[in-house]
Amino acid sequence: MTTRSLTLFEAHVTPLVGGFGRTSAVMELLRARGVATVEGLDTRAKVLAFAQQVMTLVPHPDSDPDALTTIRDRGAASRRPGLAGLGTGELLAHTERSSLPRPPRLMLLVCQQPAAFGGDVLLTDGRALHALLMERAPRALEVMAAPGTAFYGDGGGHPSRIFTRHRGERVSIRLRQDALAAFSPLLTPHLPHLRTAIEALQQRVTLDAGQGYLIDNSRWLHARTGFSDDRVCLRALGDPRTPIPPGFPSQIHWPAP
């Protein structure tokens, strides 16, 4: 893997200490870059308060009554399809709730207790990924944007695609790579191009207690390395209180749908 190691706050985003009273700054970062960092959120109450400032929370099947999900090792439960995030193993790059017709637009993840070893976050900007594929594998990119080439979820899955083109020449990304993902024979031969490009672009970031990141779920992929000991994070999913356009601007021009 070609990821480079850095702390989240050495990356190209600006940390918002505590996040409170900075909603406008958060939204500016999300519109421009699709990601913002936070620190000082060292209690569940602070994480919840910040999340409620920037989004309308959407509960997850595994979330607690306050709509936050506690991400930690849950033992045997993590071996069920779709629940690998509740174990200690690595997670491949993905977006959240890809099997829903309309996934939540935002995801906030905040570390409460770092692992003794591992548990690094791996972030990939969908805009950079789209550009790299356009340069190196344009045919693969075209197939990834074809309707019905990806299927996410139980049963037959939700028919989808990896890249979706929107009005205004914007593109969003939707991906999962676990047991609840299936790809059409048309797309399968091109998946190595996708995985190679993701590995080339991933940024490895380390979260300390109280630090986290907020991403546009239609633009950024996130992953995780395996870890040991008891790593605890809190996750919030929801839709922005201030609307933001989907995904990212495209370098390709096409007729409006």
Mean pLDDT by 10 residues, the chain (257 residues): 45 48 79 91 94 94 91 67 65 93 95 92 96 96 95 79 90 94 95 97 93 96 90 96 92 56
Q: Pull the structure tokens for residue 103.
A: 């996934």
* pLDDT score of 48: 95
From CA 19, how far away is CA 54, in angstroms rounded? 10
Contact between 216 and 123 under an 8 Å Cβ cutoff? The reply is no
From CA 165, how far away is CA 63, in angstroms rounded? 31
CB burial of residue 176 (10 Å; 0-12, 13-18, 19+)? buried
How many Å is the Cα radius of gyration of the chain? 17
Contact between 228 and 89 under an 8 Å Cβ cutoff? The reply is no
From CA 85, how far away is CA 91, in angstroms rounded? 7
From CA 90, how far away is CA 87, in angstroms rounded? 9
* pLDDT score of 168: 76
C-alpha distances (whole Å) from 140 to each of 80, 143, 190, 194, 199 are: 31, 5, 5, 8, 16
* pLDDT score of 214: 95
* pLDDT score of 248: 95
* pLDDT score of 153: 86
C-alpha distances (whole Å) from 210 to each of 17, 23, 83 are: 10, 18, 24
CATH class of 4-244: alpha beta
